[in-house]
Structure 1
Amino acid sequence: MHSITYRITGLMFLLVAITVAGLTYLANWQMENLFQDYLQTMQIGIQEGGRMMVGVIGLPEKEFLASVHEALIWVGTGILIFGLFVSHALARSITVPLLKLNSAVEKIARGEFGQKVDINAKDEVGKLAAAFNQMAEILVANNQLRQRLLADIAHELKTPLAVIQGNLEGMLDGVIEPDKEQLQSLYEETIQLNILIKDLRDLSLAEAGQLRLEKQPTDVNQIIVRASGMLKPLADEKDINLVNELGELPNISVDAGRINQVLYNLLTNALRYTPQNGIIRVTTRTEKVDGRDWVVISVEDTGSGIAEQDLPYIFNHFYRADKSRTRASGGSGIGLAIVKQLVDIHDGRVFVTSKLGEGTTFKIYLPAYTQDSSFL
């Protein structure tokens, strides 16, 4: 009796049985009392007419009452049987979808992702099924992202390690002369490898909410000027016009180093995809949204742009619209993921709009309040 079907069926049947029994009892009691009253009334009428009848209920009357009782029994039995079938059908309409959900959950627990339940009801069970199907889709997407993440990490680590290993083997075999130029090349590869590992560590800590921020009142415009100055030689090398249009901003509570990392990632990304004689424009302003004051930083370029189908995934780990995966076409693919995580842990928001062939704009919203504190 642990099944919900049996419990609901039993409960509904018990309610119907009690109702039928009560109605039958009341009907019999009322019938006998009313019939007795009728006969007594008839007896009084006959006495007043001058005649006297002996007996109250005769054989015809008993047969009539028996037929009424029998009819009530048949009707009550029919209602009980009907109630049993109806209650069982009602119970199954609830429990069968739940059994489907339970079966799908067990398969997901075994690692069989992508399970869906075909339940089109509009009630609470239908809503639960819709939520389950949505969860299953998210699990499939997350599992695919996890698999791709592992493959991408292996790919990104493999390149510098392969270069280092190949050069060292060549030196050991006497094929490559261990001169300063070769050692410099190996040193640069180790730097790239170290940067990648550091970025992965920061990203994992930020996603886990364990990246420590050293917040203090900061002028964001100064961070932008410093980051732009660092990248100005690269912009000049490609004949790209790097423009700052900075509005008057209040000092806000941020980790200056992390915000500098955000801007550096966005600017290097813009430089990578902006062609010669292009423009990269960084603007700042204050804006009130939903009753809150925000500092808004925009990084706009006239680069190649991002396809509409790629925009929802642009902040995912290692996601790049260019699937060639060569270093000439882009970096490690986690720069924008780090941008989003660092902005998120500052209680901010980051948005991207883009059009192929026209350019891309990233907008960062940071809360415009000052709080001199550190937190995890």
Structure 2
Amino acid sequence: MSDRFFYRANIRLKLFYAMLALIVALIAAINGAGHYIFNRDFLGYLNEQAQQRMEDMVPRLEQAYREHGSWDFIRDNPRAWFELMKPAIVEHNGAARSAGPTFTASDLTGATLRFSLLDASRRPVIGYPNVGPDARLRPLLQDDVIIGWVAQTPFESVIGALDLRFQQSQFAAQIIIAVVAVMLAAFLVVRISGVLTRPLTRVARATHRLASGDYAIRVEVESGDEVGMLAQDFNQLAMTLERNEKLRREFMADVSHELRTPLAILNGQLEALEDGVLQPDAQTLRSLKSEVEHLNKLVGDLYDLSLADAGALTYRRADIDLAPLLRDSAALYSDRFSQRGMRLSCELPASMPVHGDAARLQQLLSNLFENSLRYTDAGGRLQVHAHLQQQHWHLVFDDSEPGVPPEVMARLFERFFRVEASRNRASGGAGLGLAICRRIVDAHQGTIGASASPLGGLRVVVVLPARLEDERGSA
């Protein structure tokens, strides 16, 4: 239940809970460390002071026994006992010693209250009565004979009222520190969460608007941290969606236009046949067939393009020679080029071995020849040549005027893009041929690009990986 509540909480509460847990853990660690250090170091310090005080008492007790001959003078005489426990004062010249009222650290810690005097048989004489087995014993000697013992019961725990007050004051100080730390954590959470949540809130609101179709929405980038990077990524996503939506609308408009035109012509000619305006002769049938072929090619190109975009366009790759495919395509288009008064020339090597789909590569070449035939002025020319460079075949199509403006050169391979929107259907296509060419070349791990031709028109360069002879032999 607590985990569910934590995950449902907003960022501000999560930060507060995290900082509160950290503060509690730190206070617990400090308290535990303080208790450990108190028991180990402070109590050890008290016992060391008491041990030193006991060593100072030994000579005085031995001297007192020598003067009185027994311990009877001190039995039930606390005054004499405390007099002997007083520390000796050493004069500046170091010559005389005497007991004095000076207090030492052991007096302040209460160590003298834990001393005991035992006789030679270890029976209590005076002092701390509860001498346990853990007491430290120091023998008192006279002529190498044990005359008694001094016992010091070590500090094992805090038992005095002063010690308890010390512990209570420490606990109260820790409570105050904890309260101040929680208030500081709340203050920091408010400030930090404000800095973090404001841009995140803007991104969230912009995301809702983007999901509702407002692709023009943008988020202001105010920092270079992760939140700023998120805002930049959101803006990039919004721009991409806006561009894709624009392309989708243009695509639908272009498709509907390209389909409407041949359908309108077919419908008009059929109505003319019904009304008797046109006669069902060979010329009328050829016109109808031409429109049907144009419509069929457009639908086929759209289908191929959709399969290529989805990665579902099939390829049957094999070891083939590209040179005969080029020569066959050039031969098929030679008559159409001649009808427009255009010259077609090919300079090809004897063999161009590649590994690819012969049908798709034939489609690629047909689209390139068709593009030059449609968009080159009558009386122009097309030169095709190929050469091997760095284990890649470079196939170059150079045609004559008209040229292509440099600013639109990169868009030639976009679907439905045509340099001149005013071109009529007789001279221009639907703008799908070069887009399909790019998909076919990409599928063969090659590249295709366009640039200005030295003949004044357009140069299209197709680069395909060559199949080397040793590869064919190993296969």
TM-score (norm. length: structure 1): 0.81
2:320 corresponds to 1:314? no
Q: Is the 8 A contact 1:354 1:360 kept in 2?
A: yes
Structure 1 unaligned regions, length at least 5: none
Q: Is the 8 A contact 1:24 1:73 kept in 2?
A: no
Q: How far does residue 355 in structure 1 lie from its aligned partner after superposition? A: 7.3
Matches of 1:160 and 1:313 in 2, distance apart?
26
Q: Is the 8 A contact 2:398 2:453 kept in 1?
A: no
Q: How far does residue 331 in structure 1 lie from its aligned partner after superposition? A: 0.8
Residues 333-366 of structure 1, C-alpha deviations (whole Å, 9 max, x = no match): 1111111112222232212223799322211122
1:47 maps to 86
Q: How far does residue 270 in structure 1 lie from its aligned partner after superposition? A: 1.8
Q: Is the 8 A contact 1:20 1:79 kept in 2?
A: no
Task: Quickly say closer, same or farther: Cα 1:41–1:355, change in 2 above 3 A.
Answer: farther
Q: Is the 8 A contact 1:322 1:329 kept in 2?
A: no
1:3 maps to 9
1:161 aligns with one of 263, 266, 270 = 263
Matches of 2:102 and 2:278 in 1, distance apart?
140
Task: Quickly say closer, same or farther: Cα 1:146–1:19, change in 2 above 3 A.
Answer: same
Matches of 2:316 and 2:45 in 1, distance apart?
95
2:206 maps to 104
Task: Quickly say closer, same or farther: Cα 1:93–1:311, change in 2 above 3 A.
Answer: farther
Secondary structure class of the residue paired with 1:212: coil
Q: Is the 8 A contact 1:115 1:136 kept in 2?
A: yes
Q: Is the 8 A contact 1:219 1:251 kept in 2?
A: yes
Residues 48-82 of structure 1, C-alpha deviations (whole Å, 9 max, x = no match): 15227788699999999988877665555434322
Larger Rg: 1 or 2?
A: 2
2:346 aligns with one of 221, 244, 268 = 244
1:80 aligns with one of 163, 182, 187 = 182
Task: Quickly say closer, same or farther: Cα 1:302–1:317, change in 2 above 3 A.
Answer: same
Q: Identity of counterpart residues, as a percentage?
A: 30
Q: How many residues are matched?
A: 368
Q: How far does residue 87 in structure 1 lie from its aligned partner after superposition? A: 4.0
Structure 2 unaligned regions, length at least 5: 1-5, 57-84, 89-99, 111-159
Is 61-70 or 300-309 further displaced after alignment? 61-70
Matches of 1:356 and 1:110 in 2, distance apart?
50
Structure 1 vs Structure 2 CA RMSD: 3.8
Matches of 1:65 and 1:217 in 2, distance apart?
90
Structure 2 letter corresponding to 1:275: D
Task: Quickly say closer, same or farther: Cα 1:168–1:238, change in 2 above 3 A.
Answer: closer
Structure 1 letter corresponding to 2:449: F
Matches of 2:321 and 2:291 in 1, distance apart?
35
Q: How far does residue 140 in structure 1 lie from its aligned partner after superposition? A: 1.4
Secondary structure class of the residue paired with 2:330: helix
Task: Quickly say closer, same or farther: Cα 1:129–1:279, change in 2 above 3 A.
Answer: same
Task: Quickly say closer, same or farther: Cα 1:184–1:355, change in 2 above 3 A.
Answer: closer
TM-score (norm. length: structure 2): 0.66
Task: Quickly say closer, same or farther: Cα 1:96–1:226, change in 2 above 3 A.
Answer: same
2:281 aligns with one of 175, 179, 197 = 179
Task: Quickly say closer, same or farther: Cα 1:25–1:81, change in 2 above 3 A.
Answer: farther
Q: Is the 8 A contact 1:307 1:355 kept in 2?
A: no
1:336 aligns with one of 429, 434, 438 = 434
2:448 maps to 350
Residues 129-168 of structure 1, C-alpha deviations (whole Å, 9 max, x = no match): 3333222211211111111111111101111111111122
Task: Quickly say closer, same or farther: Cα 1:65–1:267, change in 2 above 3 A.
Answer: same
Q: Is the 8 A contact 2:398 2:455 kept in 1?
A: no
Q: Is the 8 A contact 1:301 1:361 kept in 2?
A: yes
Q: Is the 8 A contact 2:415 2:435 kept in 1?
A: yes
Matches of 1:259 and 1:61 in 2, distance apart?
95
Is 313-322 or 356-365 further displaced after alignment? 356-365
Secondary structure class of the residue paired with 2:383: strand
Task: Quickly say closer, same or farther: Cα 1:241–1:67, change in 2 above 3 A.
Answer: same
- Compare relative contact order (CA 8 Å, sep 6+) and give the higher one, 1 or 2: 1
Secondary structure class of the residue paired with 2:419: coil
